[in-house]
Structures are given as structure tokens and as C-alpha cells.
């Protein structure tokens, strides 16, 4: 199938870029140095490529992701990096055929995990503006987990506030300040794991012993201004021009088909004016007619992937495969 035969709006991945990105990250962070975050792509077939590149442990954002990876035979070492007190979901993870570790940052999250049969955790430390406990709380939480028959593997901290900072020196300073807090907590808690980081800080964060990068596989436009990023844009939103006005055209991929929290998509053949529910208005550099195809670049891949059921794999202009985005929802 030619790419222009796909029904729109639909997602497609550049296979060459995808394969390059996986290989490049495996070279930079081999084996256990990387715990890929599947929240970025939510696709077990893609996770298998990461496994084949040598990464046997995975980071998950939702219980659905974790259980889905376990069912796909990718359960060697799975970390749920978000807190939950939903005991049905915790029990489903505990009963899966996987090694399961959950992030905890309170007595309540530890108790819910213990009641549900979870046997391993990391203490999530607030190093920015996400979840986590204070450094001075980490020791007591680790002790409570141990008394609840939950083994404490170490600490986790996510420096999300530094991830998209363009200037590399500013980004490094933010990461260092955050990670010094994490190391202070690790001195108290102990354990083998010091886990954190992401695509934006993968080359900077040398304080943790594993990086939870995910976006590198398909890339966000938020990272394109960072000169130290070697990864290629791999995700595109195929759309059809459905209306033509004197000064702009309208295509059929709107905000319901792409994540908008990082702003408008980009388009290499003109200007993006704005997105509405089902449409995006464009100013092309050359004339377009109704029925022509355009490929938008979503600004944020994580929520964009969550809006679609299928990812098409494209090499050149030929569709060579289609993968279910099977880890969507919770």
C-alpha cells in the first residue's frame, strides 16, 4: 500500500528513523543503563524492538501498559513509575507473570501496594514538580515498606522541569540540583536502583544508574531545538486536504487526532495557522487542491499515540506493516 492510500487522519512512523533512533540510544545507553518508557509509544511490537536492542527492563506509566507488556512476554523487570492506590489494578499487576516494582511516595500508596500483593517498590522523591516525597521523608517510607513485606529497590526522581530546556548549560544545572536531592535520599534509603531521567536529559544525567527515556524512539518537536539531540523525527500524522480557500487550506486532522499540550503541529511545506476539533488550517508554500495529502508533525507523541488504535510503518512511501497501539488507556 502507498502512504497516500491510507484513510486519514492516521499515524505513521518512518521505519528508517525508528530503527536509527533505537540503535543510537542502545549505543549511548546500552543494556540496563536504559529502562525505556513505553508511555511514549504504547505499542508492544515497538517495545520488542527495544528489547531486541538489549533493553530488558521497561518503565510504565499505567497498569495497562505493565500488564500488557507482561502478557507479551516482556515482563523481566517492569517499573510502574506513577503512584496508584487502585487495589484492583495493583492486584492485576502483582498477579501478572512479571517482576513488578511500583513507585511509592506515601504511607497510603505503600499500604495499597502491600494489600494487593506487590513485593517491590522504589521510593519516589520529589526533585521537581511531579509526584514524590520530600528527602527527609524517604527513610521513614522505606522503613514502612520493609515492615509491610515490600522490598525497597532504591529511589526514583524525575526532573521533568528540565527536560525541554533548550540551553544545555541551563538544563545541566537544573538536572544537577534535582539529582543531588535524589542522591541525598538514596544515601538514606539504599538499594540498587537510582532511576530517573528522560530523552531530554539522557546525555546529561550521570547521577542515576538507569535512564527512563521514551520519546527518543519517535521524537517530540519540543526536542528539535536542543542541539545535543541526535535522534530523528519518526512520527507523522497523515491528513487529507478537504477544503481550499484563497489564502489557506484545511486538512482533516484536528486536535482530536493529536496531542496539543505542546502547541500546534509543524508542517514542512508551509505554515500551521491553528487546529480545531477535526481540522487544521494551513498556509502552503505551493498550491494544494482538495484530495492532496499532507504530513503533519505532532508536537507531543505520547498523547498523540493515545488517540489512535494503529501505527503504520512506512519505508519510503510504502506502508510495510501496521502495529496495534495496544497499551492505550489505563
For 184-198, write each residue's pLDDT tens digit.
999 999 999 999 999
C-alpha cell at 14: 518512518
pTM of the model: 0.95
pLDDT at 15: 98
Sequence-separated (6 or more) residues with CB below 8 Å from residue 219: 17, 21, 199, 229, 231, 232, 233, 234, 235, 301
Please answer whether residues 255 and 9 qualify as being in contact, where contact means their C-beta atoms are separated by less than 8 angstroms.
no
Residue 35, Cβ neighbours under 10 Å: how many? Answer: 28
Sequence-separated (6 or more) residues with CB below 8 Å from residue 85: 108, 109, 112
Three-state DSSP class for residue 68: helix
**Tens digit of each residue's pLDDT (9 = 90 or more) over 254-302:** 999 999 999 999 999 999 999 999 999 999 999 999 999 999 999 999 9
Average of per-residue pLDDT across 145-162: 97
Q: Where are the alpha helices (DSSP H) in the chain?
A: 15-28, 44-52, 63-71, 87-94, 107-116, 138-147, 168-189, 301-306
| Domains defined along the chain, listed by start | 3-11+231-324 (2.40.37.20), 15-218 (3.20.20.10)
Residue 113, Cβ neighbours under 10 Å: how many? Answer: 30
The beta-strand segments (E) located in the chain are 10-14, 57-60, 77-80, 100-104, 120-124, 151-157, 193-196, 210-211, 235-244, 249-251, 270-275, 280-284, 293-296, 310-315, 318-324
**Tens digit of each residue's pLDDT (9 = 90 or more) over 100-140:** 999 999 999 999 999 999 999 999 999 999 899 999 999 99
**Tens digit of each residue's pLDDT (9 = 90 or more) over 200-220:** 999 999 999 999 999 999 998
Please tell me whether the peptide bond between 9 and the residue prior to it is cis, using omega within 30 degrees of 0: yes
Distance from C-alpha of 61 to C-alpha of 83, rounded to nearest angstrom = 9
Residue 235 pLDDT greater than 90, yes or no: yes
**Tens digit of each residue's pLDDT (9 = 90 or more) over 39-90:** 999 999 999 999 999 999 999 999 999 999 999 999 999 999 999 999 999 9
User: Crossing angle of helices 15-28/44-52, nearest 10°?
Assistant: 40
Distance from C-alpha of 177 to C-alpha of 194, rounded to nearest angstrom = 15
Residue 322, Cβ neighbours under 10 Å: how many? Answer: 15
Nearest to 75 by CA among 88, 62, 87, 60: 60
Residue 86, Cβ neighbours under 10 Å: how many? Answer: 12
Amino acid at each position: 500500500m502507498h502512504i497516500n492510500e491510507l484513510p486519514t487522519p492516521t499515524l505513521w512512523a518512518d521505519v528508517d528513523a525508528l530503527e536509527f533512533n533505537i540503535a543510537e540510544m542502545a549505543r549511548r545507553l546500552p543494556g540496563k543503563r536504559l529502562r525505556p518508557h513505553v508511555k511514549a509509544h504504547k505499542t508492544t511490537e515497538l517495545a520488542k524492538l527495544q528489547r531486541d536492542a538489549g533493553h530488558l527492563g521497561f518503565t510504565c506509566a499505567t497498569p495497562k501498559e505493565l500488564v500488557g507488556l507482561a502478557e507479551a512476554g516482556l515482563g523481566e523487570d517492569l517499573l510502574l513509575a506513577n503512584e496508584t492506590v487502585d487495589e484492583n489494578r495493583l492486584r492485576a499487576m502483582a498477579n501478572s507473570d512479571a517482576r513488578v516494582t511500583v513507585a511509592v511516595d506515601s504511607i497510603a500508596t505503600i499500604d495499597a501496594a502491600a494489600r494487593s500483593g506487590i513485593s517491590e517498590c522504589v521510593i519516589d522523591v520529589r526533585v521537581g514538580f511531579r509526584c514524590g516525597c520530600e528527602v527527609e521523608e524517604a527513610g521513614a517510607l522505606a522503613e514502612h515498606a520493609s515492615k509491610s513485606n515490600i522490598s525497597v529497590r532504591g529511589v526514583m526522581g524525575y526532573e521533568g522541569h528540565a527536560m525541554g530546556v533548550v540551553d544545555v548549560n541551563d538544563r545541566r544545572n537544573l538536572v544537577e540540583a534535582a539529582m543531588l536531592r535524589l542522591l541525598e535520599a538514596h544515601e538514606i534509603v539504599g538499594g540498587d536502583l537510582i532511576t530517573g531521567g528522560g530523552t531530554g536529559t539522557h546525555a546529561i544525567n550521570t547521577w542515576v544508574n538507569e535512564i527512563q527515556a521514551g520519546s527518543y524512539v519517535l521524537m517530540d518537536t519540543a526536542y528539535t531545538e536542543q542541539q545535543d539531540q541526535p535522534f530523528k523525527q519518526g512520527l507523522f500524522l497523515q491528513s487529507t486536504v478537504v477544503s481550499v480557500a484563497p489564502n489557506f487550506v484545511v486538512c482533516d486532522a484536528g486536535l482530536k487526532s493529536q496531542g496539543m499540550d505542546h502547541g500546534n503541529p509543524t508542517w514542512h511545506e508551509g505554515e500551521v495557522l491553528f487546529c480545531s476539533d477535526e481540522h487544521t488550517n494551513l498556509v502552503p508554500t505551493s498550491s494544494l487542491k482538495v484530495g492532496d495529502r499532507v504530513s503533519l508533525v505532532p508536537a507531543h507523541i505520547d498523547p498523540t499515540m493515545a488517540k489512535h488504535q494503529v501505527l503504520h510503518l512506512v519505508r519510503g512511501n510504502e506502508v510495510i506493516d501496521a502495529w496495534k497501539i495496544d497499551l492505550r488507556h489505563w
